[in-house]
């Protein structure tokens, strides 16, 4: 059993909060190709479901469990790029994106998800898998306002960040400034409203 020092435990409790997500999805957000994330929670979530822990957070890229067949064909080359840039042996993870939640919409039907298929990089099968897992719980469609760091920060890849969980506390300092929105306000509001309208039908 690993016993954390008081200083390290405090750092975990108070450090910057981050949401773990596939690197290929974070790339799509960072490039303004989507504003959507689909979340149902990690296998080891203490609450057994996804909960929005903060209205804003960093995005922590994950690589090991990305699946090519669950991405639309046009997104698959980006997956290969993220894997080429990543090395488990390096012991560092690059963080470059910050998110603010514009909406957290609970979805319970495949029909709703089908209406927004054009707004994200995943296949219908991926969306269906997310919806059916823990069927009694709703799927969260997060609409995110993304900010990109002018200079991404590399942080040590710690064991405490691993595992199938959504939220982690980064035990490194991350910059308060030097972030810019990846999408102008008018375009973001237009796309956000389109998605909200489709999900409400």
Output the pTM of the full model.
Answer: 0.86
Mean of per-residue pLDDT scores for the chain: 86
User: Is the model's pLDDT at 45 over the cut of 80?
Assistant: no
Backbone angles phi, psi at 6, to 5 degrees: -60, -40
| Per-residue pLDDT at 146 | 98
| Per-residue pLDDT at 5 | 38
Share of the chain above pLDDT 70, in %: 87
Give the range among 15-19, 23-27, 55-59, 129-133 with minimum mean pLDDT. Answer: 129-133
CA atoms of 201 and 198, how far apart (whole Å): 6
**Six-digit token string for 101:** 């939640």
More confident residue, 3 or 88: 88
For 7-26, write each residue's pLDDT tens digit.
Answer: 434 444 578 999 999 999 99
**Element (DSSP H or E) covering residue 112:** helix 110-115
State the first-to-last Cα distance of the chain, in angstroms, to the nearest integer: 51
| Per-residue pLDDT at 136 | 65
For 91-127, write each residue's pLDDT tens digit.
Answer: 899 999 999 999 999 988 889 999 999 999 999 888 7
Q: Which of 199, 48, 200, 42 is nearest to 136 (CA)?
A: 48
For 161-183, write each residue's pLDDT tens digit.
Answer: 988 788 999 999 999 899 999 99
């Amino acid at each position: 059993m690993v016993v954390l020092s008081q200083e390290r435990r405090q750092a975990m409790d108070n450090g910057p909060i981050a949401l773990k997500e596939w690197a290929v999805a974070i790339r799509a957000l960072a490039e303004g190709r989507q504003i959507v994330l689909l979340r149902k929670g990690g296998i080891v979530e203490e609450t057994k479901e996804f909960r929005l822990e903060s209205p804003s957070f960093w995005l922590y890229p994950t690589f090991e469990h990305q699946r090519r067949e669950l991405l639309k064909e046009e997104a698959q080359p980006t997956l290969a790029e993220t894997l080429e840039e990543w090395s488990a042996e390096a012991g560092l993870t690059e963080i470059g994106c910050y998110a603010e939640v514009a909406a957290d919409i609970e979805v319970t039907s495949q029909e709703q998800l089908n209406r927004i298929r054009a707004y994200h990089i995943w296949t219908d099968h991926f969306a269906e898998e997310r919806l059916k897992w823990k069927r009694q719980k709703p799927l969260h469609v997060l609409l995110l306002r993304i900010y990109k760091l002018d200079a991404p920060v590399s942080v040590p890849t710690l064991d405490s960040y691993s595992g199938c969980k959504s939220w982690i506390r980064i035990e490194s300092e991350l910059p308060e400034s030097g972030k810019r929105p990846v999408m102008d306000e008018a375009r973001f509001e237009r796309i956000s409203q389109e998605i909200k309208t489709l999900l409400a039908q």
